Structure 1
């Protein structure tokens, strides 16, 4: 399997809150030992020099649904979670060369401004991370889906971002993740690797599905998230962890690239 299985306590699931982003994670090894000395740390720069492209048997099936959610806020992060603890945003099914079909339930949404992962050295304006927990099992495995947004003032307002912006200060509201990731979108190219949480305690029990192509959104939307996570005492320069060194903290990370399954056919038809 892509990740070894581990029974996680609630504190491990949600991480620790005794940290800040004044150094964008560079000082976390002084606070949390697990953020230091490991070999599968996230985020990373996803580039062709470290990518294996011969894995064609990776499949990703999201079945997200409208879900009643609430936003939890503390000094280190804002999370969107289901309003009912036993609920989830809908299932995510994955099949790859490491395991049989696995079902996950979406449990937490993070917004990172600017993005944590880079694509060929490019850091996009916003990264939306959807963290999932394995369903139908007493043992827990984590899987996070990431998508990017880039500023384009000619673009229409993105419906998913607008759902969040319009309801941000409400006690609870209905959020539909299928406004962001659909079955049609899931065939787009993405990177897959085994890494860690990007916040303390940096647990190395997380599979990442990072979609390559960014969505476009106008500055009127992206500025909302920028203002949440910049120019404050806790977030002076954003709420992202700096990319990890592929020669040390991310030394054992192996990245697979799922190509567009229709790209070859389209090229042959031209």
Structure 2
């Protein structure tokens, strides 16, 4: 009788946990069965590949590259109207033709097509990439495709078909005024599949371009199924400031099941021998930080007296 009971119990558990829909770990439950990040390879086998994203970037193991020059951002200052969408798993914005990026050792010009965010819970850790194990509250991805392609689908079979720019966020004491219009639009897309028009420029959403010289570079994938390994990743070192209240608005959105949209990030994936490169400016930033720490320590020691 006990063995029979266990059999039916396990069958019930398996039935509860089996689904063809992918989801984030925070969405998994028996009421809403879905396949979490650990088994995304069952949704699409590419998710178990050898160059998956995101990754943990270990700064001391990165390789400095003089070829990682400054980017050329074209059309990022142009104001456009587009539709902000709650997809049920993130919030995204389609980017009309006109914005592009080149330089930075990219093989050619890449056109911006879409952006989306990944976050934690009202400012808790939620970025997809991590630096030396540190997870930021949120991360923005601006997806670009080679200018010889018309759509993302065309770029999927090209190992360098996409160029994604990753931006971290940190909590600040004051509001970021550049995000005011975007935050207001978020309040209109609380429910899954809801949409709202927003008037904005890409420059409103990123740091001043003079602060985008320090970055990491590696070959990776999309961070949601189908996890296509067609992405050249650039992850910028300098985080974007947002206030606690601004970060909290993202967590007020809802998943498809109506629950709060929180922790919508994929855990870091094995690096599997891939080299992560850093720009020369990244080395400069690290040296400046070390120098500041050393000056602080030296000043403290010089002011310390033994009586």
How would you bin the TM-score normalised by the shorter chain? 0.7 to 0.9
Structure 2 match to 1:6: none
> Which of 85, 100, 108 is residue 91 of structure 1 equivalent to?
100
- The one-character-per-residue Cα deviations of 1:41-63 (angstroms, maximum 9, x if unpaired) are 0000111354112x112121222
2:162 maps to 1:159: no
Q: CA RMSD in A?
A: 2.9
Query: What SS does structure 2 have at the residue aligned with 1:27?
Result: helix
> Which of 111, 118, 122 is residue 112 of structure 1 equivalent to?
118
Q: How does 1:146-225 map to 2 (within 5 A)?
A: 146-152=166-172, 154=173, 156-168=174-186, 169=188, 171-179=196-204, 180-187=206-213, 189-225=214-250
* Alpha-carbon offset, residue 72 of structure 1: 2.7
Q: Which has the larger strand fraction?
A: 1
Structure 1 match to 2:158: none
Structure 2 match to 1:20: 23
1:252/1:234 Cα in 2 relative to 1: closer, same or farther (>3 Å)?
A: farther
Structure 1 match to 2:93: 80
Structure 2 match to 1:43: 54
Q: Say whether the 8 Å CA contact 1:75–1:234 is kept in structure 2.
A: no
Structure 2 match to 1:12: none
> Which of 239, 243, 246 is residue 268 of structure 2 equivalent to?
243
Q: Which has the larger helix fraction?
A: 2
Query: What SS does structure 1 have at the residue aligned with 2:225?
Result: coil
Structure 1 match to 2:279: 258
Structure 2 match to 1:3: none
* Alpha-carbon offset, residue 137 of structure 1: 4.7
* Alpha-carbon offset, residue 29 of structure 1: 1.7
TM-score by length of 1: 0.77
Query: What SS does structure 2 have at the residue aligned with 1:228?
Result: coil
Query: How far apart in 2 are the matches of 1:18 and 1:103?
Result: 35
Query: What SS does structure 2 have at the residue aligned with 1:216?
Result: strand
Name stretches of at least 5 consecutive residues in structure 1 with no aligned partner: 1-16
| Structure 1 stretches of at least 4 aligned residues deviating more than 6 Å after TM superposition | 232-236
Query: How far apart in 1 are the matches of 2:240 and 2:90?
Result: 23
Query: How far apart in 2 are the matches of 1:32 and 1:262?
Result: 38
* Alpha-carbon offset, residue 237 of structure 1: 4.9
1:199/1:91 Cα in 2 relative to 1: closer, same or farther (>3 Å)?
A: same
Query: How far apart in 1 are the matches of 2:104 and 2:117?
Result: 26
Structure 2 match to 1:68: 81
* Alpha-carbon offset, residue 163 of structure 1: 2.2
Query: How far apart in 1 are the matches of 2:260 and 2:177?
Result: 26
Query: What SS does structure 1 have at the residue aligned with 2:38?
Result: coil
Q: Say whether the 8 Å CA contact 1:116–1:127 is kept in structure 2.
A: yes
Query: How far apart in 2 are the matches of 1:49 and 1:62?
Result: 29
Name stretches of at least 5 consecutive residues in structure 2 with no aligned partner: 1-19, 29-35, 120-125, 156-160, 189-194, 292-307
- The one-character-per-residue Cα deviations of 1:195-248 (angstroms, maximum 9, x if unpaired) are 000000000000111011212221010001123368x767675110000123xx
* Alpha-carbon offset, residue 161 of structure 1: 2.8
TM-score by length of 2: 0.68
Q: Say whether the 8 Å CA contact 1:145–1:210 is kept in structure 2.
A: yes
> Which of 67, 73, 79 is residue 57 of structure 1 equivalent to?
67
Query: What SS does structure 2 have at the residue aligned with 1:203?
Result: coil
* Alpha-carbon offset, residue 18 of structure 1: 3.5
